[in-house]
Structure 1
Amino acid sequence: MLNRSVARRYAEAFFSIARDNNKIDEFQQELEKVVATIKEVDNLEDYLSHLLVPAKEKKDVINKVFAGHISPLTMNFIMMVIDKRRETYLEVITEEYKEMADESRNITKAELVAAKEVPEEEVKTLAEKLSASSGKTVKLQVKVDPALIGGVKIRMGDRIIDGSVAKKLEMLKTQLKQAKIG
């Protein structure tokens, strides 16, 4: 597993450059394009992550694939990542960068877990209510987990709102165990 703190440092450095150049969105799109292309091109991901391939050869390949398609600043950043032997971190660096970009746009992500599919209209209404209460624009990611039995669970940052039937049953079970029978 890759160390997210390493990826975060690289993302912070590149995000700082993007903010200074007022190109946060542009650089995010370029990073996403680079990661997507690396995944799409046969064996490119394996080639870049191979320890015996010299950095110069990797940089030559990246230059051939992306020259003219991404900005010189993004190209230099990727070359530096390769020089530092962190090319396997590119995807995680991109994820960290996207989180920073969303934060700068006052956007936060939340996860909605429900026992069954939630209608789009209800998801939209819930996102609006969460946005109003948090003061940020909330993007809801919906997941279905039948183990909840009913209700929903919302995770936003370090806050969890658990209104599921499974949680209520668990709480009832705890209360019944603690009840004194006299």
Structure 2
Amino acid sequence: MAETYVSGVAGRYAKALFELARDGGVIDAVKADLDRFGAMIAESDDLKRLVRSPVFSAEEQEKAVAAILDKAGIGGLAGNFFKTVAANRRLFTVETIMRGFDQLAAAEKGEVVAEVTVAQPLSDSHAATLKQALDQMTGKHVKLVVEVDPSLLGGLKVKLGSKLVDASLKTKLNSIRTAMKEVR
């Protein structure tokens, strides 16, 4: 497998979790638990606040996370990992950790992760067309991670590894605005 790099504190946590999951043969199970927790964060403003806010103590975060994980049925390696992250006051990095784990898991399977940001949700046919084009461009199996950002107005941004293609209407309008200011 080609070396996949994840950096920073979140990268070290992601790599440690991935290595434990790989050694235990539970990469898919851990990924499913991470995805479920990520979906819970996306759906709950209170959970977002708990994860991102420095106001809560480590004890408060640890107790709250334990209760949430118990109710969601997330245990095992992923459950222990979330509790450890909370105890170490690193819960604010959990979303970055989950992205890093996804990258490492995808690399293990020979996949490449493309982070796609769009103004409106992609239809299944548009997602399939984009995936097919990226598969052909990279020569690998590409996994799309789609995020919706209405501020783009239209178009899309595609981040594939360290490369970013920004074909959003917002960027094009900003370029025109800059060009107009230079003409004056």
TM-score by length of 2: 0.62
Contact 1:107 1:137 in 2 (8 A): yes
Aligned residue runs from structure 1 range 19-168, under 5 A: 19-67=22-70, 69-110=73-114, 127=131, 131=135, 134-139=138-143, 156-158=160-162
Report the number of matched residues: 155
C-alpha separation between the residues in 1 aligned to 2:33 and 2:142?
24
Query: Could you tell me how far 1:72 is from its partner in structure 2?
Result: 2.4
Contact 1:8 1:93 in 2 (8 A): yes
Query: Could you tell me how far 1:9 is from its partner in structure 2?
Result: 0.8
- Identical aligned residues as a percent: 28
C-alpha separation between the residues in 2 aligned to 1:129 and 1:123?
10
C-alpha separation between the residues in 2 aligned to 1:53 and 1:128?
44
Query: Could you tell me how far 1:88 is from its partner in structure 2?
Result: 0.7
SS in structure 2 of the partner of residue 43 of structure 1: helix
Could you list the per-position Cα deviations for residues 50-82 of structure 1 after superposition, in whole angstroms to 9, with x for gaps in the alignment? Answer: 334321222111111211611222121111111
Q: Which runs of 5+ in 1 are unaligned?
A: 114-118, 167-182
Tell me the equivalent position of 1:8: 11
Contact 2:41 2:48 in 1 (8 A): yes
Pairwise CA RMSD: 4.0
Contact 2:61 2:87 in 1 (8 A): no
SS in structure 1 of the partner of residue 84 of structure 2: helix
Structure 1 residues 93 and 146: CA distance shift in structure 2, 3 A: closer
Query: Could you tell me how far 1:136 is from its partner in structure 2?
Result: 2.1
C-alpha separation between the residues in 1 aligned to 2:95 and 2:12?
14
Q: Which runs of 5+ in 2 are unaligned?
A: 1-5, 118-122, 166-171, 173-184
Amino acid at match of 1:50: S
Q: Which has the larger radius of gyration?
A: 1
